[in-house]
Amino acid sequence: MPGEFVLVKTEASSLGISATWYITTVDLMQNVEVFRQEPGKEKFKKLDTPAAFFARNDSIFTVFADDDVEPYQWYRYYLVPVDFCDDEGVPSDTIGVASVAENELPVAQQIDITGLPESRSLELSWKYSTDVPVTAAHIFRAAQVEGPYAPVATLEGDADSWVDPVEKANENYYYYLIAETPFGQGRQSSIAFGNFVGRDVPLPPQNLNITALGDTAFIQWSPGEDFVSGYIVYRKDGAADSWINVSGITNLATFSDTTEKIAMRTYTYRVTAVSDGFLESDPSATVFFRTMVKEVPPPAGLTTLFREGNLHFIWDSYDEEFPWITDCFITLRYERGMTYEINIPAPSNSYFLEDAEGLVAASVCFASVDGLKSETLPFSLSKMQKNNIEISGLQAIKSGQGILIQWSEIAGDNIGQYKVIRESADAEPVILSTTRESQYLDAGIQTGVTYGYSVVYISPQGIESKPSEVLVVVN
């Protein structure tokens, strides 16, 4: 008997259903009868119109079209082959097809999002593109339009609105919906977004506490409501009337005021809370902070260097240990009572005096940001120090590249530089280089010329030593 059908494809819409089968055995087949089970019925009925035949690539197919369908319903079908003697063959497998096309499945449209400030939420409402029955609505949400999106709700099929209790005001939230039907899922809806304007005014921050950490005022308080997005710390200096925002908006419930402060002055602080709707609370209770007198130690490490009538005054720098020291004042007293005061801004710790003629006394003191001064201490002029370092070990090595001058390196952690000088019979002395290395290659030499080389050491303070002995080299 003929038979053995293999389903190839089905096509369906609200207007009709069709199906195509491949026939594996066609011998003696006269026609193919189509049987259909309607929605809610138990028995199958034969359709009035049998299936048609067509051939393609030496294969035989049968196809039926059923236009007598109700929209959006499930139908079941099977085929029965009939031979020329009207004998029936083996029925095909039963298939189920819904009278709905994929593009007829519902998609959420006209999605409207309304902000509800009172409940800090967003209300979504929508309509569907078709009247295909919806069994569930899946709602997805993201904080950015590009995602990632996560499911936030699954609603009953008759739902056409939903309220989402979101976390933050004045921030956009993005949504799309997917409808579930008895016939599969519809397409994803377009993306809609919305926000609500926060109207909640925070309470003033509570339990303000202040701790002195040197000159730093460390302030802390209890965190506010969930919708508080930040805090502002205000300060009033001394008897001033105005309050200054010293923190900007901070999202922490602590703040360290590290700004420079004047000694023996009282600073008053208060804090306000700021909501995610940018509404500011009333000020908190006030707390107080009083700065103490900062120590201004006298200068130490006073040194006087002398060379050829010039003086170089040097003292220890306190910029790391005492950062409030802002100035050094040097007082110079000359013969006939003339006195000059020179201001050296910290952290500089030296002063170079080009002409010391007539100088009889020199002293230095420190001054702080508060205007307080340290004890004034004198520089020693009777024991002026010179740069007594001598360069030794000077030697020359000739090569095809030139003359390599080497000397013994000056020991120490804070060494200065070396100045290399060259002399010749028919030229003025020339400074070849100022280098931190203990050697120098002189490549600019001529054959048959006698050269003299000497080296001068320059201290970190810029004081030069006496030149070394001249090393004579015949090239």
Per-domain residue ranges of the chain: 3-102, 106-194, 206-290, 303-378, 395-474
Band (434; pLDDT cuts 50, 70, 90): very high
Find the mean pLDDT for residues 180-194: 96
Report CA-CA distances (Å) from 205 to 208, 228, 279, 283.
7, 10, 14, 8
Find the mean pLDDT for residues 86-97: 91
Per-residue pLDDT reduced to its tens digit, 280-323: 999 999 999 887 777 889 999 998 887 766 888 999 988 788 88
Per-residue pLDDT reduced to its tens digit, 346-359: 889 999 998 787 88
User: For the chain, what's the residue count?
Assistant: 475
Same topology, domains 3-102 and 106-194? Answer is: yes
pLDDT at residue number 218: 95
CATH 2.60.40.10 fits 3-102, yes or no: yes
Find the mean pLDDT for residues 384-405: 82
Task: Indicate yes or no: pTM above 0.75.
Answer: no
Band (180; pLDDT cuts 50, 70, 90): very high
The Cβ-side half-sphere exposure at 230, using a 13 Å CA radius, reads 11
Band (110; pLDDT cuts 50, 70, 90): very high
Indicate if the pLDDT at residue 259 is higher than 80: yes
Determine the CATH number of domain 206-290: 2.60.40.10
Top-ranked range on mean pLDDT: pick from 177-191, 346-360, 432-446: 177-191
Band (427; pLDDT cuts 50, 70, 90): confident
Question: How many CB atoms sit inside 10 A of residue 115's CB?
Answer: 19
CATH class of the structural domain 395-474: mainly beta
List, in order, residues 6 or more apart from 59 with CB less than 8 Å away. Answer: 22
Contact indicator for 417, 339 with CB cutoff of 8 Å: no
The proportion of the chain whose per-residue pLDDT surpasses 70, expressed as a percent, equals 96
Indicate if the pLDDT at residue 88 is higher than 90: no
Handedness of CA 78, 83, 89, 92 (dihedral sign): negative
**CATH architecture type of domain 106-194:** Sandwich (2.60)
More confident residue, 412 or 457: 457
pLDDT at residue number 163: 97
Find the mean pLDDT for residues 225-244: 92
Find the mean pLDDT for residues 436-461: 88
Determine the CATH number of domain 303-378: 2.60.40.10
